[in-house]
Amino acid sequence: MKKTKIILIALWVVFAGTLQAADKNDRYFEISKNLDVFNSLFRELDLFYVDTIDAKTLVRSAIDNMLEELDPYTTYIPESELKDFEYMTTGEYGGVGALIGKKGDSIIILEPYENMPAQKNDLRGGDVITEINGKRLKNTSVTDVSEMLKGQPGEVVSVTVKRAGKSIKKSIVREKIQINAVDYSAVYNNVGYIRLSGFTDKSSEELKRALTELKAKNELKGLVLDLRSNPGGIIDEAVNICSLFVPKGTAVVSMKGRDAQRDKTYKTLSEPIEATLPLVVLVNGMSASASEIVAGALQDLDRATIVGSRTFGKGLVQSTRAVGFNDYLKVTTAKYYTPSGRCIQEIDYEHKDEDGNAKRIPDSLTHEFKTAKGRTVRDGGGIAPDTLLAEPETLNITYRLVADYLIFDYVTAYVQKHPKIAPIDEFVYTDEEYEDFKKFLKQRKFTYELKSVELLKRLKDIIKIEGYAELSETEFAALEDKLKPDTDKDLEIFKTDIKELISIEIAKRYYYQKGEIRETLKYDEGLRKALEIINFNRQQ
């Protein structure tokens, strides 16, 4: 019997191995066949298509469409886009240091970065760029202008702008532009606040330095780490940041993929500098990837209280592989898991619906996990905060005022009339000044339409098609009358929200990025709640 069992097992192993080999051979055959078909098809197009084909564009289109079938993060990086990819990982580039945008047909400076060439040469928000190195900008994209402004540090670029009807020419020496990951730090009632905007290759060093500086000047009773709208970046930096707050050797994130031999668990490599300081991490729906690793690890380890709204849910790991001719493929190779075992990924790109759309994981299919102290947390994508705050809603009127550059243009005119304003902590945008803004809008003949009116028109069209237009005519007329926006009335109803946006834009013009953040934090519910939690815990 024993011999018979051994023989049967051996036969099964051989049979299973044969089936596996056959499956592999079939798969390799399909890959080889389809590549041959593609090569043959492309060759035929090149020889016989009625017009000369653009080979580069056509192949790029084929590559992009192929990768779109997978997930948004698996992308082709040609040599021409390599600098942009390097900027994402280092935060460095050669240029003038200004954020630009398109307004109508014009390219404008949205904001110069403080202490960088554009600001040092007195380029200002609202300036319209008309020429670069003698070349007039006409029908030029933001991307093209950005490339024209970039270049080797030490080189001179000539920039002509129009301001208040005058043409101004500047010769600007390009510098190495370093966008810091820590873009603001401060202390509020003995509680430190640090905002981290990305996970570049120096972000953990910057965070450690900022925390050390805050501690040197203050007796900190707690720390707020702001990861809101932080899109993530390098995983090693996320691990290094966790190292600042948890014991050496603590597992903070795991990667698991198709190849189990490449699975990896990341542990902290250094002793923490603040192992017990009360910690709150702020997150929102745009906190992604490495931000979620930090928030998820500190939550699972019961090291921090997470405050805000559910995070983005990007738990896919990418690695970069060379594919020849200095081109690269950024390919998804694994998924992230927090210390409790939760998967961060929210959208299932492998299983799609009948329309080809990726599915979100429903709440009914999520699972419970336990933190270090036994608290229940769930997977299903993203990190659910311990203290949930509603995402601020964008009002229709404020959206139009921002999208149509009305607040931006008003502040540009405001700056020309006011050479300086009060220090940022004392600055107040007054009700009297708001009356000037309303006059400005009247001059610009500002009107807007409610989103509900647009939806109502669609509903009327559908009802008309279904043959019930006459039956509902009176009701629609009454509803349309009620939904008719009253601009003057709405400017008063939403005065607080609009004044807040105006004051933030003004602060940015005079005190640049730090001024914008400081002004924003005056109205910030997340910071208020974080300080409340830390102070409450201190009193227990």
Catalytically active residues, by annotation: 289, 300, 314
Q: Which of 136, 104, 409, 153 is nearest to 145 (CA)?
A: 136
Q: Name the token pair of 473.
A: 């005519």
DSSP state of 343: B
DSSP state of 481: H
Q: Name the token pair of 499.
A: 């004044």
Query: Residue 185 — φ and ψ, nearest 5°?
Result: -145, 150
CA distances from 527 to 281, 394, 420, 446, 534 (A): 10, 19, 28, 34, 11
Crossing angle for the helix pair 431-443 and 406-417, to the nearest 10 degrees: 120
Contact, 79 vs 133, CB < 8 A? no
Strand-pair category, 264-267 with 251-257: antiparallel
Question: What is d(CA 4, CA 1) in angstroms, rounded to the nearest whole number?
Answer: 5
Residue with tokens 């709640």: 529
DSSP H helices in 133-279:
142-149, 203-217, 235-243
> Which letter, b or e, does each residue of 305-338 get, where b requires 16 or more Cβ atoms within 10 Å of its Cβ?
bbbbbbbbbbbbbbeeeeeeeeebbbbbbbebbb
Q: Name the token pair of 255.
A: 């990667």
